[in-house]
Amino acid sequence: MNLINRRKFLILSGGVTGSVLLTHCQTSPALLLPIEQTTAISSTTSNNGLLEVALEARSSLINLGRQQAHLMTYNGSIPGPRLEAKPGDRVRIRFTNKLSEPTNLHYHGLHIPPMENADNIFLSVPPNETLTYEFTLPQNHPAGTFYYHPHLHEFVAEQVFGGLGGIFVVRGELDKIPEIEAAKEEFLFIKDFAVDANGQISTPGHMDLMQGREGNILTVNGQVNPNFSLVAGGLSRLRIVNASTSRFYRLQLENHPFFLIATDGGAITEPVELPELLLSPGERAEVLVQGNRSPGEYRLLSLPYDRGGMGMMGGGMMGSGMMGGMYHGNSRGSTQAPQVIATVTYQGANPTTLPLPQTLLPVQSLPQPITTRRIEMSMSMGMGRGMGMQMAFLFNGQVFDMNRVDAEVKLGTVEDWELVNVDPDGMEHSFHLHTNPFQVVSRNGQPDAYRAWEDTLRVRANETVRIRIPFLDYLGKTVYHCHVLDHEDLGMMGIVEIQK
């Protein structure tokens, strides 16, 4: 087995962490004052069956709370413009790379062709070059909240942590349900950053790469502790994207339960009440919130979450030497305080109380699989020839190889995959499959509480998650990988070839 040593991972010490804005609940009130109102994300919507937009990746100076940072952006903003289309629409994106390194685009969660100039993550756009991406959304594509971001292997974590990403919305049947149509819609693009005293993205240390880098500046729509409002007697529809490189979010809105209405791949059959919402990197969810509490101010919190590993990051501190920001405790995240990521206030009142929808949309039951595959997730470490520490993250004992096909599947068939986390470090992973969404059959043999379409899920230490995948519509090569993106860059990715 060969261990890989990523191009920028040779130097495992010397990272620095500058003075950054913490949003822990116990910090001074002055640091927690919300901005006046969440700034709306700019959007481009399809017209007459065509969504056409120019998108440019470039470095920009961005305000992060009380400091400025040099970040990677799409069209100068974080997040990039929200793109909205409908099933059957043609999408044409003229993408220009103004970064100093190559990049590309991935349309996370969309069921579109994985080849040519569609969702082809094997393409590379060099600096100062332009590529036009073009594809058609299927007529039966589900409505939902999707996500675009860079996906050039070995550059992914760096570019996503640097700021690149945006929301892709498909409008459809879910939006036409009367209660949902009447709800106030909010998009929450949640992302963390770590910057040094010069406003540059902090250099990750060895442990940051092993655990997956996290920052201590938490943002919603590129802002620190923004404000959004609830209408008394009304409903709010929160469309949430975990756009962080590695951070898992355990979200809670004070005194307000969430009512889940959609997962990665679209609507579920009926709302599910949740006291909190857990999203691994790359996951999305849509929830309804009822404006039925006393008017006042409520905090949207990111609660502590232990995702395993060799220690814990103290509040997401990153980048101080070889050990990064690691504090050596028993479990990662167990001593972190809740962090405020947004403030919610009541504004106005609905003349009549809006009810929750009783039903949503049917979720197809899949036929029995023709085969079952076992995919083991693990890591390996060793000393390199230059005596530097090398690490690799593995599927079935192998690092990613661009020239190897890891799974050959037949178009029009259904398979079960058993995702088995055998990582000796006890680290949680986030599994993502391109092109074809799936349904979770069971976790350690126990069925999920409700049927849902997903494309990204967490796999806990020593857990076996069985998923059922229909391979539909498109031939060609696509990938699956860990969406803790440092792990993907360090080898935890495989190629699927869909054949006739």
The secondary structure of 42-79 as a DSSP string is PEEE-BTTEEEEEEEEEEEEEEETTEEEEEEEETTBSS
In a domain, 494, yes or no: yes
Q: Residue 202 has which token pair?
A: 């902090």
Tell whether 303 and 376 lie within a shared domain. Answer: no
Can you say whether the dihedral through the CA atoms of 385, 386, 389, 390 is positive or negative? negative
187 shares a domain with 163? no
Q: Is residue 23 part of a domain?
A: no
> Quick one: 152 and 218 in the same domain?
no
Burial of 84 per CB tally in 10 Å (0-12, 13-18, 19+): middle
Provide the 3-class DSSP secondary structure of residue 144.
strand
Q: What is the pLDDT of residue 388?
A: 58
Instruction: Name the domain boundary from 153, 170, 187.
Output: 170
Lowest-confidence range among 17-26, 146-155, 444-453?
17-26
Say yes or no: 40 and 189 in one domain.
Answer: no
For 220, the domain range is 178-349
Structural domain includes residue 20: no
Same domain, 127 and 96: yes
The reply to whether 415 and 446 lie within a common domain is yes
At 425 the pLDDT is 79
Q: What is the DSSP letter of 25?
A: T
Please count the CA atoms within 13 angstroms of the CA of 200 that sit on its side-chain side: 7
How many structural domains is the chain composed of?
3
Tokens read off for 451: 């049927």
The CATH number covering residue 237 comes to 2.60.40.420
17: in domain: no
409 with 488, same domain: the answer is yes
Sheet of 144-149, strand order: 43-45, 82-85, 166-170, 144-149, 106-108
One-character DSSP codes across 412-456: T-EEEEEEEE--TT---EEEEESSS-BEEEEETTEEPSS---BSE
Residue 3 lies inside a defined structural domain of this protein:
no
In a domain, 436, yes or no: yes
Of residues 473 and 314, which shows the higher confidence score? Answer: 473
This prediction has a pTM of 0.89
Nearest Cα residue to 314 out of 298, 327, 300, 304:
327
Q: Which helix (H) or strand (E) holds 178?
A: helix 178-182
Lowest mean pLDDT among 35-49, 114-128, 240-254: 35-49
**By the 8 A CB rule, do 244 and 217 touch?**
no
182 and 130, same structural domain? no
More confident residue, 290 or 353: 290
pLDDT averaged over every residue in the chain = 88
Pairing of strands 249-253, 297-303: antiparallel
* Within-domain flag for 197: yes
- Domain end (from 170, 190, 209): 170
To 10 degrees, the CA torsion angle through 223, 225, 231, 237? 60
- 98 and 199 inside one domain: no
Task: Copy the structure tokens of residue 483.
Answer: 């969406």
Same domain (yes/no): 319, 375: no
Decide which of 170, 194, 221 is a domain's last residue: 170
365: in domain = no
Question: Would you place residue 34 in the very low, low, confident or very high pLDDT band (cuts 50, 70, 90)?
Answer: very low
Are 315 and 224 in a shared domain? Answer: yes
pLDDT for position 389: 63
pLDDT score of 33: 43
**Cα 115 to chain center, whole Å?**
22
